[in-house]
Structure 1
Amino acid sequence: MRTTDVVTNATRNAFRSKLRTTLTVLSLFVGAFTLTLTTALGAGVNDYVSRQVATVSTGDALLVTPAASADSSEGPTRFDPDGRQQSTQPNPLGSGTLLNADDLETMQGIDGIERVEPVRQVVIDWVAPADGTEEDRYELDINPSSSLGRSDLIAGEQLDDGKGAAQIVLQDEYVDALGFGDAESAIGETVELGYTDAAHVARSIEAEVVGIARTSLFASGAGVDASLTDVVSEAQAIPGQPEAYVLAVAHLDGPGGGAVTEEDIRQVKAQLADADLTGQTVEDQLGVIQTVINGIIGVLSAFSVIALLAASFGIVNTLLMSVQERTREIGLMKAMGMSNGRVFSLFSLEAVVIGFLGSAIGALAAIGLGSLISSALAAGPLADLPGLSILLFDPVNVLAVILVIMLVAFVSGVLPARRAARQDPIDSLRYE
């Protein structure tokens, strides 16, 4: 029997018992459907995170905060008037300890650090058009780490601290609210920012709109340049209180002014650690998020594997019953000269055909339903995260799922196929 005949007969024999085969295919369908969705979820979220990192990170800057205390001594810590202050508010960007002037001086003296920009937390009460009234004011949040990287711009340019003029990058949701026709027409316009100083006196400052940015998961709030931040922070600073910063941005410089390499970053991190400081890139911080996401997806994928394991027993049962029902047929094929290897291949291919059907149908169903779910989420709950496809069906991943399930089916069919191949033709022909 030629190879093509073996494949044709295996495909035909897989449907001899339509009900039994259908039930086995459905069990594989569940595993393939779930596994395809979980891999698509992981691909979608990780793709979005990677694109956001490329958007907000310049690749040559570190977020520097005081190192976490590892003091295990008993009793409270003694007060040091010249030491670091403790933050009175929760700070998601750093630890509960604040940087001081000595820390900034230490950072500036580290090889590989070109300049250090302390991040000051400023509070802006409202934003309005330059000639607007009180009714035109809208609340505004400021991204304290604007100088770390780039905004995901729709129009305009990035902030340029070198100009020395107050600049702002607004989120796209403010374009219509502030009366601009579109993102392009907002560039170059002036807006007024209102804030309250340390004496609880209302003040305002004007800033030029240099860019309009999309809403980002990792860089929320408007971006402002250093000159604007300095003015507001000085006005909001409490007299007599020493300077303290939630974190600092250390801009790196490669050897000879060249590109910053991973080795350069590692060396700077080591020097910061020696100074009781911690340096992290945006990639480091988002890596924690990706680890959590991958862990959740791994748990979901485990349920898919359990479903596939249960389905594999179904394949074994289906083929064992098929071998028993076709005992005389096996004896006749062997009596006519079919080798043990051909018999083994015939039944193994039946398992592979069943695995292909279950995996292909499950994958196609997952793609169809998942695409609808992804579109609905993008237009609804995830509308504020443009560019996020929560389910990303990569053809390579889908093909990998199908091949893995076909391999599982083949392995499951080995036992019944071996039993069929090792049957004695004389005994098989006598089987009733």
Structure 2
Amino acid sequence: MKTTDLIRSAVANTFRSKTRTILTILAIFVGAFTLTLTNGLGTGINDYIANTVSGVGAADSMTVTKADGNDGTAPAAPSANGAPREYNPDAVSSGIPGSTVTALTPHDIETIGGIQGVVAVQPVRTINPDYVQASGGTRYVAGVASLIPGQTTVLGAGAAPDSTASTPQVAIPSAYVDPLGFGSASDAIGSTLTFGITDADRAKHTIEATIVGVTKDALASPTGASLLINSVLSDALFDAQSTGLSAEQADRYASASARFDSSATSDDIQAIKDRLAKAGFTGRTVADQLGTITSVIDAIVLVLNAFAIIALLAAAFGIVNTLYMSVQERTREIGLMKAMGMGSARVFSLFSLEATFIGFLGSALGAGIAMLVGAAISGALSNGLFSNLPGLTLITFDPVSIVGTILLVMAIAFVSGTLPAVRAATADPVTSLRYE
């Protein structure tokens, strides 16, 4: 019997007992459906994180702080039992309520810049305006932040503030559009926004900036709900805020952004972190900051995949039962095939192909339905619950992953069909022909 005839015969024999085969296929379908859907969920979320990672920071930079806290590496926070901590005159707010870090000085910035592997360093300044106001309207409290080189933000209108511009520029979050009195995001572009800020002598200052963009919310937004400002506006606000302070008091930074060669390997980056640690600093890359998030997502997907594998293993027993019953029912047929010269290898291949074909039908059906259901769910959530996370496709299907899932299920089906196939291949033709 030719290989094509063998395949044709295996496909035809699969549906000799339609009810039994369909039930087995449905069992495989459940496992393949779950496995495809959970893989798509993990792919979608991780892709979104990867696509918005530049919002957290550039891939070739790390956030550097001065070693502080109980372990010497983390920001110091209030003790768990409520006991007071010793006052540190060099501590500044880390941006997390109740948490502080030892301030970086210009000398520290110079030290970081001189560490091997660091190609550039930029201090991150803390600026606290009193309010923002548009066209003499209501005043609103707002925080400000600047993009470090390599960072991006998701825009709803306009453009991000230009760091090379000679005039103050700002991009406001979409949530500020209506309160500030603008009819739409596009209406805000080109308008003037006034910042009020108080200096060390309690004198009031106002600084005007042009609104050049409106930012959208995103999972990895670099500024969160803060206003995004360019370097000219940052300098103006910082100078106004620092009026009345000595240079030593003004030049205190919670952190700095240190850039390294974009071609640096993991070992190179770790070496830079080690050198920073020896100098009394702590460096954290984007991967470090997002590592926990991706690890949790991968763990959840792994647990869900485990349930899918359990379903597939249960389906494997169904395949074994289906083929054992098939071998039992076709005993005389097997004896006749062997008596006519079909070798044991061919008989084994025939039943193995039947098992593999059942696996293919169940996995292909499960993967196909999972893609349709996943696309529908993802579309509904993107337009509803997750509409404030632009660019998020919750469930994304990778063609390679789909093919891999189908091949995995077919492999499980093949292995499951091995025992029945061996039994058929080793059957004695004379005994089989006498079987009633």
Match of 2:21 in 1: 21
Match of 2:12 in 1: 12
Match status 1:85 vs 2:91: yes
Relative to structure 1, the CA distance from residue 247 to residue 44 in structure 2 (aligned partners, 3 Å threshold; closer, same or farther) is same
List aligned pairs for 1:341-360, cutoff 5 A. Answer: 341-360=345-364
Post-superposition Cα deviations, 1:353-401, rounded to whole Å, max 9, x if no partner, equal: 1111111111111111111110111011110111100000222221211
Match of 2:209 in 1: 207
List aligned pairs for 1:292-371, cutoff 5 A. Answer: 292-371=296-375
Deviation at 1:120, TM superposition (A): 3.1
Match status 1:373 vs 2:377: yes
Match status 1:218 vs 2:223: no
Deviation at 1:20, TM superposition (A): 1.4
Match of 2:80 in 1: none
Match of 1:151 in 2: 153
Amino acid across the alignment from 2:398: D
Post-superposition Cα deviations, 1:394-418, rounded to whole Å, max 9, x if no partner, equal: 2222121111111110111011101
TM-score calculated relative to the size of structure 1: 0.84
- Secondary structure (helix, strand or coil) at the match of 1:97 reads strand
User: What is the CA–CA distance in structure 2 between the aligned matches of 1:408 and 1:260, rounded to whole Å?
Assistant: 41
In the alignment, structure 1 segments of 5+ residues that lack a partner are: none
Which residue of 175, 186, 191 maps to 1:189? 191
Number of aligned residue pairs: give it.
418
- Secondary structure (helix, strand or coil) at the match of 2:320 reads helix
- Secondary structure (helix, strand or coil) at the match of 1:389 reads coil
Amino acid across the alignment from 2:161: L
Relative to structure 1, the CA distance from residue 78 to residue 128 in structure 2 (aligned partners, 3 Å threshold; closer, same or farther) is closer
Post-superposition Cα deviations, 1:112-136, rounded to whole Å, max 9, x if no partner, equal: 545433323334455442x2422xx
Amino acid across the alignment from 1:215: D
Amino acid across the alignment from 2:257: V
Range 365-374 or range 49-58, more displaced: 49-58
Relative to structure 1, the CA distance from residue 55 to residue 233 in structure 2 (aligned partners, 3 Å threshold; closer, same or farther) is closer
Which residue of 395, 419, 428 maps to 1:424? 428
Match of 1:245 in 2: 253
Relative to structure 1, the CA distance from residue 114 to residue 169 in structure 2 (aligned partners, 3 Å threshold; closer, same or farther) is farther
Instruction: Tell me, yes or no, if the aligned pair for 1:38 and 1:300 is still in contact at 8 Å.
Output: yes
Match of 2:172 in 1: 170
User: What is the CA–CA distance in structure 1 between the aligned matches of 2:419 and 2:263, rounded to whole Å?
Assistant: 57
Match of 2:77 in 1: none
Match of 1:46 in 2: 46
User: What is the CA–CA distance in structure 2 between the aligned matches of 1:224 and 1:115, rounded to whole Å?
Assistant: 21
User: What is the CA–CA distance in structure 2 between the aligned matches of 1:112 and 1:211, rounded to whole Å?
Assistant: 35
Deviation at 1:194, TM superposition (A): 4.1
Match of 2:78 in 1: none
Deviation at 1:77, TM superposition (A): 12
User: What is the CA–CA distance in structure 2 between the aligned matches of 1:247 and 1:53, rounded to whole Å?
Assistant: 19
User: What is the CA–CA distance in structure 2 between the aligned matches of 1:163 and 1:17, rounded to whole Å?
Assistant: 76
User: What is the CA–CA distance in structure 1 between the aligned matches of 2:38 and 2:6, rounded to whole Å?
Assistant: 35
User: What is the CA–CA distance in structure 1 between the aligned matches of 2:387 and 2:344, rounded to whole Å?
Assistant: 60
User: What is the CA–CA distance in structure 1 between the aligned matches of 2:133 and 2:88, rounded to whole Å?
Assistant: 42
Match of 1:70 in 2: 71
User: What is the CA–CA distance in structure 2 between the aligned matches of 1:16 and 1:411, rounded to whole Å?
Assistant: 21
Deviation at 1:268, TM superposition (A): 3.4
Deviation at 1:161, TM superposition (A): 4.0
> Considering only aligned residues, what root-mean-square deviation do their CA atoms show, in Å?
3.4
Which residue of 104, 110, 130 maps to 2:109? 104
User: What is the CA–CA distance in structure 2 between the aligned matches of 1:350 and 1:313, rounded to whole Å?
Assistant: 15
User: What is the CA–CA distance in structure 1 between the aligned matches of 2:46 and 2:32, rounded to whole Å?
Assistant: 21
Match of 1:118 in 2: 123
TM-score calculated relative to the size of structure 2: 0.84
Deviation at 1:43, TM superposition (A): 1.1
